Amino acid sequence: MENPKIKATFIEKAESVSAFVYQVNTMDEAYRQTLDLCRKKKSCRDLFQKTETEKNIDSSSPKKTIAAPGLSNDLFNTFELLCRQEKTDLVQSNLRRYTAGLDIGFTIADFGIAETGTLVIGSDSEDTRLATMVCDFHVALVPESKIAATALDIAAPLKEMTAGPSSYTAFVTGASRTADIERVLAIGVHGPMELHIIILAGE
């Protein structure tokens, strides 16, 4: 059930760890917000030397790439049409081809945890894990109704999510950061440089 107070706490905590938070009413708005972010950033293909595999990708293809694994066919087709209008590639599988980097990884989170501003993402699929790890920007959509006050409030569904012997579940709080080297904070070393969270109302 949607709770404005829980949502407000989630936004506050997420922004406190440098996440960017947006609120939308439809999936179409979420796609357009994602494309707006993509439009403003520098292309990964211009920043990094291509791997041997990537050299085989059609050089006439658009210069920016969004990965959106796990979307249903209907959702993917709608998003792809918008991406095509922006001359942006939308991919959802075989993401090992993009080891030099994806501009944006677009995922749908299973839950949000308000007390820490954390996203919970079922990542059994390798493509989902890659989309959240080798992108410059991670854009995660979370339905407002899936934001819980605390981790204890989602204990039962989490138990189901992690019941399999090869289950992967990611808890994402803010962008990737580390201070391993001389205690100097570095952003984006082990993952995305920026985390953008889109809250979908009425879902």
pLDDT at 181: 56
Number of structural domains in the chain: 1
pLDDT 10s digits, 66-83: 999 999 999 999 999 999
Q: Specify the CATH number for the domain of residue 189.
A: 3.40.50.10420
- What's the confidence (pLDDT) of residue 100? 76
Side-chain-side CA neighbours of 6 within 13 Å: the count stands at: 19
> What pLDDT, on a 0 to 100 scale, did the predictor assign at position 99?
78
73: exposed, middle or buried (C-beta count within 10 Å: 0-12, 13-18, 19+)?
A: exposed
Which residue in this structure is represented by tokens 């006050």? 149
State which residues form the domain around 131.
4-200
Q: Is residue 186 scored above 50 in pLDDT?
A: no
**Confidence label for 44 from pLDDT (cuts 50, 70 and 90):** confident
The distance from CA 66 to its chain's CA centroid, rounded to whole angstroms, is: 10
More confident site: 88 or 165:
88
